[in-house]
């Protein structure tokens, strides 16, 4: 079943992408779809389906009803999980790598998985921002080094003229 108003769905997905602060391509990859596939939906060429909304909801812990129909808040209710609990949970999952033991440990807790997925999405977005800032700082350092070389060159010319 498809939502009645695709334009509103497009607006909600656009709002979500803007809120998360990542590119459409990164958003699509995180949802497990091709960026061109997402682009067709955002341009109105293809309508969003419930399955597509489910992928987005799962990837970013978004409230499915908000995404599909505009009902409720953007994000599903999240249980508070601290950094230490999150790290401990990941260590348990790493230590028990079989799918059966992972299901037992996690209790197939959909809400917990949603919270972890949302946290991972936010971490990925922050990592991208940090990488972009690191690149800008590296460019700034190169410019400063080039300017310092030019200053030394000009000082050398001035000293030769004196």
| pLDDT one-digit tens code per residue, 36-87 | 999 999 999 999 999 999 999 989 888 888 999 988 888 765 444 454 555 5
92 within 8 A of 105, measured Cβ to Cβ = yes
Task: Look up the pTM and report it.
Answer: 0.46
What does residue 142 show for φ and ψ, rounded to 5 degrees? -65, -40
Q: How many CB atoms lie within 10 A of CB 83?
A: 8
Q: How many CB atoms lie within 10 A of CB 143?
A: 10
The CA-CA-CA angle for residues 23, 34, 106, to 5°, reads: 85
- Name the pLDDT band for 100 (thresholds 50, 70, 90): very low
The structure tokens 């033991």 sit at 101
- Name the pLDDT band for 95 (thresholds 50, 70, 90): low
Q: Where are the domains of the chain?
A: 6-69
Would you state the pLDDT for residue 116? 66
Q: Which fold has domain 6-69?
A: 434 Repressor (Amino-terminal Domain) (1.10.260)
Highest mean pLDDT among 2-6, 108-112, 113-117, 138-142: 138-142
The structure tokens 């699509």 sit at 28
Residue 62 three-state SS: strand
13 within 8 A of 24, measured Cβ to Cβ = no
Would you state the pLDDT for residue 107? 46
């Amino acid at each position: 079943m498809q939502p009645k108003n695709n334009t509103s769905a497009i607006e909600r997905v656009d709002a979500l992408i803007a809120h998360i602060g990542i590119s459409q391509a990164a958003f699509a990859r995180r949802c497990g779809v091709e960026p061109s596939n997402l682009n067709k939906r955002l341009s109105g060429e293809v309508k969003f389906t419930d399955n597509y909304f489910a992928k987005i909801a799962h990837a970013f812990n978004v409230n499915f009803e908000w995404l599909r129909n505009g009902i409720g808040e953007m994000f599903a209710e999240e249980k508070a999980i601290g950094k230490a609990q999150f790290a401990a949970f990941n260590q348990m999952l790493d230590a028990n790598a079989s799918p059966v033991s992972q299901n037992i440990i996690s209790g197939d807790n959909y809400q917990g998985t949603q919270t972890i997925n949302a946290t991972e999405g936010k971490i990925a977005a922050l990592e991208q921002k940090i990488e972009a800032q690191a690149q800008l700082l590296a460019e700034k350092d190169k410019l400063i080094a080039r300017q310092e070389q030019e200053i030394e060159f000009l000082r050398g010319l001035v000293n030769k003229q004196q």
